[in-house]
Copies of this chain bind each other. A is one copy, B any other.
Amino acid sequence: MKAKITLKDIARELEVSISTVSKALKNSEEISRDTKEKVQAFAKLYNYKPNNIAISLKNKRTKNIGVVIPAIVHHFFTTVIRGIEKYANAHGYNVIVCLSEESFDKEVINMEMLANGSIDGFIMSLSSETQQKGDYNHLKEVTEQGIPVVLFDRITNEIDCDKVVIDDQFGAYMATKKLIDQGRRKIALITTDDYLSVSKARTEGYRKAFEESDIEINESRILKLSTMGIVDEERIQEFFDSNEVDAVLCVNEIFTVYSMRLVQEKGLNIPNDISFIGFTDGKLSKYANPSLTVVAQHGEKMGEIAAQMLIDKVESEKEEESFQTKILEPTLVIRNSTIN
């Protein structure tokens, strides 16, 4: 086991000072050509690599980004991580991922762990419990300490920071409108409780499309399910047993594919008897049978933008308190669960 070599080791071997070695490796003008070559050759030979921790301590910069998300098994979040990774790595940053598992406490603990020097900034999406409680003190604390934060997807207006979201309301509006235009009138909405910022916006978009077309909404056609844990299959079953619907808009992939299978088992044909539109352009949608028409959220893009915003803030010297909210346009990906 050959231990890592340090500046001190090189200095000792070459009988120069640590400062000289440090400067020589940085190709400083101060150091003679001879010495530089000697030091650099030696460093290369012994595969010297500076210790990141020491550098972090000195510059008060870790080149690490903390990402706190509610879950990782949701396709949308994994695509966002991918986007973050992509941009961050290209700019020399590492990504530390922490899962809140939709729990307020875990979110707080994870942030505290990371906030004490481990990272230069946060990219996060709020846990549903946090949004339900409406308690954002942990976020306030880090921003007050001067740690930049970028919120994405599940955001809050109570915190002043950069944000990236898609226009969820428009996405739902667009989808609902399409269903209406195709002559559907009994359009169900399967969503989650309103405290989730995205679900609320999507519900609004759904309502807006109806209002604009002067169609009355049948409130019993709106089903609100819990975000926690597994899908409440029984409630979905009941819902379809007791409601007549000719189209369904769902706020995530799982709700959609599960519902689709249910109505197929009842003997209905998709999309002839009933149309489906989901949110998130993931694999479930792509490989569903029939393949699913969805509102694409462009998670990877979102991740890249979030990373860019964060790194910009981290690397900008000035302390301007100007925050922006980027709103991405969702797009409708037409597949076979709607009439073409």
Contact = CB atoms under 8 A, between A and B. Distances in A.
Nearest to A265: B289
Interface string A147-158: 000000000000
A8 B253 CA distance: 52
Contacts of A257: 287
Contact of A261 (B52, B56, B264, B289): B289
A81 interface: yes
Interface stretch (A26-34, A90-98, A192-200): A90-98
B116 A51 contact: yes
B284 A264 contact: no
Contact of A145 (B1, B79, B118): B1
Interface string A78-114: 1101100100010000111111000000100110111
B118 A254 contact: no
A23 interface: no
Given A82-B73, A116-B51, A96 B64 contact: yes
Contacts of A85: 72, 97-99
A239 to B, nearest CB: 18
Nearest to A118: B52
Contacts of A134: none
Contact of A112 (B49, B116, B145, B146): B49
A94 B78 contact: no
A77 to B, nearest CB: 9
Interface string A1-27: 111100000000000000000000000
Contact of A81 (B4, B72, B319): B72
Contacts of A258: 287
B78 A72 contact: yes
A114 B287 CA distance: 36
A261 to B, nearest CB: 5
A287 B257 CA distance: 6
B264 A283 contact: no
A45 interface: no
B64 A72 contact: no
B289 A287 contact: no
A94 B94 contact: no
A95 B97 contact: yes
Contacts of A222: none
Contacts of A99: 82, 85, 89
A95 B94 contact: no
A294 B145 CA distance: 49
A288 interface: yes
A62 B53 contact: yes
A75 interface: yes
Contacts of A289: 260-261, 264, 288-289
Query: Which 6 pairs of residues, A with B, have the shortest CB-CB distance?
Result: A53-B117, A257-B287, A51-B117, A52-B117, A97-B97, A1-B146
15 contacts: A1-B144, A2-B145, A4-B145, A50-B116, A52-B118, A53-B56, A53-B62, A54-B57, A89-B109, A89-B110, A94-B98, A95-B96, A96-B97, A254-B283, A258-B287
Given A85-B99, A89-B110, A264-B289, 11 more contacts: A47-B141, A49-B112, A50-B116, A52-B116, A53-B57, A57-B57, A64-B118, A73-B82, A94-B114, A95-B97, A258-B287
